[in-house]
Chains A and B, each alone.
Chain A
Amino acid sequence: MTEALSFEKSRPGLPGPRLPAAGVQALPPASVLPAEALRQTPPGLPRLSEPEIMRHYSRLASMNYSISENFYPLGSCTMKYNPVANEAAAALPGFAYLHPYQEEDSAQGALELMWNLERALAAVVGVERVCLQPAAGAHGEWTALRMIQAFHHAAGEARTEVLVPDSAHGTNPASAALCGFRVVEVRSGADGRISLADLESKLSPSTAALMLTNPNTLGLFEREILEVAELVHATGAKLYYDGANLNALMGVCRPGDMGFDAVHLNLHKTFTTPHGGGGPGAGPVGVKEELVPFLPRPTVEKQDGRFRLDFDRPQSIGRVRSFYGNFGMLVRAYTYIVAMGGDGLTQASLDAVLAANYLRGRMEGLLDLPHRGPCMHEFVASARSLAGAGVKALDVAKGLLQRGFYAPTVYFPLIVPEAVMVEPTETEPKATLDAFTGAVAEIVRLAQDDPQRLHEEPDNLPVGRLDEVAAARRPVLRWSPAQESPKELVEQP
């Protein structure tokens, strides 16, 4: 099934929607503004009626997988249920219709929510203060590195390097480079845990920070984390926590207690705010005492029972975005935390760890499990056991799509060949985990009996495998009037 573009359905001459009259002395802009300031040709926006618009988007929606319908076992993504109560909360007029430049006295409810959320997140991860401004995880990462950079600068130290594990997510080195740091890779052992020896050899007076996630990208807890923290701090560097895998730890242990100086969080992972097809999210950053002076401004403060924005922070790194943060997402995460409470969040993490271990156990005999258990909230399997049949991790992923499951992360982390990274989360019923196991079993059976069939999957989705090479060689990044509509769309009803 394909759906024509809105532009292809557009009909010239279809009038726009009815709008209210100006109702005041109608002054033609052309009489007030110079000709060169005016638009010469109208923008080529589509002309569609509302019934057509609604149908168009409903049809597009039907071409999507989503967590509301499908299991997403994506490693390090924490695709858990997005509570609908959060949506109701964010839509309340007392949140949705607030202007960021209203006087503080008229926005006390919003400021109180932010203050409460900050306290709750600080308690979960064990830090002093939390900045709610960053709009996404990568943004939060960069914010943390800027604060660390400012800290060293204030201490008169020129530290130019950031250490990143070889198993790290791509945003880690990219965020470091945005701050002008040189990125140095630290090797992991075969189990993906950081090599203390290699770390020690790479730490130096030039090191600004080590970026780590714990559990690591193989879902294994860094047992030697206290030693890592000691080594890093002994050289005067800071330890940064990538919060992608926090779902394993809530109420169990805290990054702050492990020695992390800056802790980033993904509200769109651990704290259930919806992914939106690629955002908006939110990436708050928590910091220990020493980094507090460098927090972006403004911060939210409580004084004599009133809440205010504090702009008077002389050592602040400044602003990382306009206004105060993705407030609508903060409301959603806050609502979740209020509903769960401390015991609820703890149970969520324990269930996430149990679910991952249960599912991992059921993969035995089906896929290769390169590391000895137990795992935390996610595990990495390998499809190399199917290599003899010419079947790869990619085919396993496509086979799962065929069977209605979103594919797990494949080919990451790079240190495991034919990697399949699975994170079920705590909101998948046992029956779903068992059904997933059944699907994998079927794929493994096909790999032995009829591998060619697997290479042809998925065949039940709107499109087959798309030619990404041609798309990158001759990119078409927008519709143009000159383009011909594909034949299969011309006869659309």
Chain B
Amino acid sequence: MVERRYSETHEWVTVEGGTATVGISDYAQAQLGDVVFLELPKKDSTLDAGASFGVIESVKAASDLYSPVGGRVVEVNEKLTDSPELVNRDPYGEGWLIKVEVGGDLPPNLLDEAAYKKLTEAS
């Protein structure tokens, strides 16, 4: 299992056995406030790394979601339709967004834990 990496747009990704799991960081969910809705891609759609794959909405904001990895979407977190608050409560666990089938390594531009922490402190 590859340890969690982050994008500059506040998504996180982990990989296990060729499948990447993507979500948004704790910092991002705190900034957004209570999540009310998510627009997520359909299963089997293909994503490019860095491309927008959906929208996350709170009462006061709506942000695009950008995929840290490219590949085919193999699973979408259905629980979030009825319980979007999972993203706030457990952003790294039950609040995962999508799972993507990835080919090779993670893209090199992703940040590790320390680098991401620095990014959020600078904001």
Residues of chain A whose beta carbon lies under 8 Å from any beta carbon of chain B: 468-469, 472-473
Contacts and interface: CB of A to CB of B under 8 A. Distances in A.
A472 B58 CA distance: 8
6 contacts: A469-B33, A469-B34, A472-B37, A472-B57, A473-B36, A473-B84
Interface of B: 33-34, 36-37, 57-59, 84-85
Contacts of B59: 468-469, 472
Contacts of B84: 473
Contacts of A472: 36-37, 57, 59
Nearest to A472: B36
Nearest to B36: A472
Contacts of B37: 472-473
Contacts of A469: 33-34, 36, 58-59
A97 B84 CA distance: 51
Contacts of B57: 472
A133 B6 CA distance: 50
A248 to B, nearest CB: 30
A415 to B, nearest CB: 16
Nearest to B84: A473
Contacts of B36: 469, 472-473
Question: Which 10 A-B pairs rank lowest in CB-CB distance, beginning with the nearest?
Answer: A472-B36, A469-B34, A473-B36, A468-B59, A472-B59, A469-B59, A473-B84, A469-B36, A472-B37, A473-B37
A279 to B, nearest CB: 23
Nearest to A469: B34
A432 to B, nearest CB: 32
A472 B61 CA distance: 12
A468 B33 CA distance: 12
Contacts of A473: 36-37, 84-85
Given A472-B37, A473-B36, 12 more contacts: A468-B59, A469-B33, A469-B34, A469-B36, A469-B58, A469-B59, A472-B36, A472-B57, A472-B59, A473-B37, A473-B84, A473-B85
A473 B33 CA distance: 13
A393 to B, nearest CB: 14
A469 to B, nearest CB: 4
A473 B36 CA distance: 5
Nearest to A473: B36
A409 to B, nearest CB: 15
A346 B56 CA distance: 48
Contacts of B85: 473
| Most chain A Cβ neighbours within 10 Å, of B57, B58, B59 | B59
